[in-house]
A and B are shown apart, each in its own frame.
Chain A
Amino acid sequence: MPKTLEFQIATPERVVFEAPAVEEIILPTQMGEITILPDHIPLVSSLVAGEIRVKVGGQEVSMAVSGGFIEVRPGKVVVLADTAERAEEIDEHRAEEAREKARQLMQEKKTETTDYTGLAAKLERELARLKVVRKHRERKNLGPKAVE
């Protein structure tokens, strides 16, 4: 039997996903995407907004996350995310709207730096969500959602 990892992703609101045996985890970090395989050395790193992909039992589960932390221990990976959503849970239309809103606000307020950084983070988060949901839809062959 191939080696596996225990995986758990928690946010302050809930435990988004956990599995006792996953084969591979792809995480977005500050240094770029990293892939964690079993027997990875213990690691602590910061998570950035993006997509987490987990291979469990041959299937891939994808999630959108904003910032947070990653901890790799022997035999276990823990993700402490600020927010996280499973691909199935994201409503594409709403994600698109939120992105648009964040971008507009950003153009208006480019001069106010404090707001700008907050909005930039928000935009990044919305982009990550959108990316995850689009990919998820493609994989399921549902095609793009009708735009009103």
Chain B
Amino acid sequence: MPQATREIKRRIRSIKSTHQITRAMELVSAAKMRRAVQNVLATRTYAQLGWQLLSELSARTDQSRHPLLARREQIKRLGLVIISSNRGLCGGFNHQLTHRTNQYIQKNREQNPQLEVDLVTVGKRGRDIMLRTGHNIVAEFTKADITTRIEVVAPIAKLLISDYLSGKSDRVVMAYTDFISPLTQKPIIKQLLPIVKEVDLNLGSARVAGVKQEEQAANFNYEYLFEPTPDAVLENLLPRLLEVQLYQALLESDASEHSARMMSMRNATDAAHDMISSLTLAFNQARQASITTELADITGGRAALGA
């Protein structure tokens, strides 16, 4: 008997310790998620208003007013910012994002076989995956577990803008994970430069109360007046609002990452629980079976002796 039960006992013990670890990780992620979600919700309105302003501006002002608004005829190089997580154990979070990115790149390559893609990675996991798939990475930024200050995106924005202005990239997009709810996150590709109106792929948007979609405004054919001069205003405004978009994407990714990790850890904890109870059942059955055989042996021996 001891052989079978000892084996099961050992497995139960190891699963129990895994169960403990995953439960602890779930609790940690839950706390981080709460903070990240709080951050993301606080800035959403600001980011969305900023994006509305950007897209209205691009639709209503002359493209030649500022190089960041001007569209280019030919897209030879694509700049792509991919915002992933630093650590794994968060379910399909990073793979969904990289899969979506690869799809996007492939679709664009079909239209334009000569397209070169330069990646800027934020977060270690995305970098590793993209390296493995053989993409060209031009810059790598580190990322905190939870982003709380807008200053951290300034260098990223600076790099993107200077690359775009110097012609190193003809279009800049970013890939991030949009936080919809703790249960759902969606990988999204959003165009940053040049700033155009059509590609509004809602940055955490449409769900923000208090910011209505401006349908009626689109009917008016108005142009903005700039004070003091268009150049002076746009020079400050465009980079700043781009920063805000990047920052918001980073926050959305943070919130998504922590909720994805919390969910996958909860699933692991539940699975460990199930395994423990089925193994305990198997253990008890094995123990009972060995007792029964022993008893049968004893009584069988006795009957043989007595006869």
Question: Which residues of A approach B to under 8 Å, CB–CB?
Answer: 8, 10-15, 18, 29-31, 34, 41-46, 69, 71, 73-75, 78, 80
Contact A73 B225, beta carbon cutoff 8 Å: no
Contact A13 B42, beta carbon cutoff 8 Å: yes
A-B contact pairs, 27 of them (CB 8 A): A8-B210, A12-B42, A12-B43, A12-B46, A12-B247, A14-B42, A29-B227, A30-B232, A31-B227, A34-B227, A41-B222, A42-B60, A42-B225, A43-B224, A43-B225, A44-B57, A44-B227, A46-B233, A46-B236, A46-B237, A69-B236, A71-B53, A74-B222, A78-B49, A78-B52, A80-B46, A80-B241
Contact B49 A44, beta carbon cutoff 8 Å: no
CA distance A34 to B210 in the complex (A): 25
Which residue of the partner chain B has the closest CB to A75?
B217
Nearest CB of A to B74, in Å: 30
B244 at the interface (CB under 8 A from A): yes
Contact B226 A44, beta carbon cutoff 8 Å: yes
- A-B contacts counted at CB < 8 A amount to 77
Contact B225 A44, beta carbon cutoff 8 Å: yes
CA distance A8 to B52 in the complex (A): 13
Question: Which residues of B approach A to under 8 Å, CB–CB?
Answer: 42-43, 45-46, 49-50, 52-53, 56-57, 60, 150, 210, 214, 217, 220, 222-228, 232-233, 236-237, 240-241, 244, 247
Q: Which residues of B contact A31 (CB under 8 A)?
A: 227-228
CA distance A72 to B287 in the complex (A): 79
Nearest CB of B to A102, in Å: 19
Contact B224 A10, beta carbon cutoff 8 Å: no
With contact pairs A10-B46, A80-B53 given, residues A45 and B226 touching in the complex (Cβ less than 8 Å): yes
Q: Which residues of A contact B240 (CB under 8 A)?
A: 69
Q: Which residues of A contact B220 (CB under 8 A)?
A: 74
Q: Which residues of B contact A45 (CB under 8 A)?
A: 226-228, 233
With contact pairs A11-B46, A15-B45, A46-B237 given, residues A41 and B53 touching in the complex (Cβ less than 8 Å): no
8 Å CB contact of B49 from A41, A42, A43, A80: A80
CA distance A31 to B233 in the complex (A): 12
Contact B236 A12, beta carbon cutoff 8 Å: no
Q: Which residues of A contact B45 (CB under 8 A)?
A: 10, 15
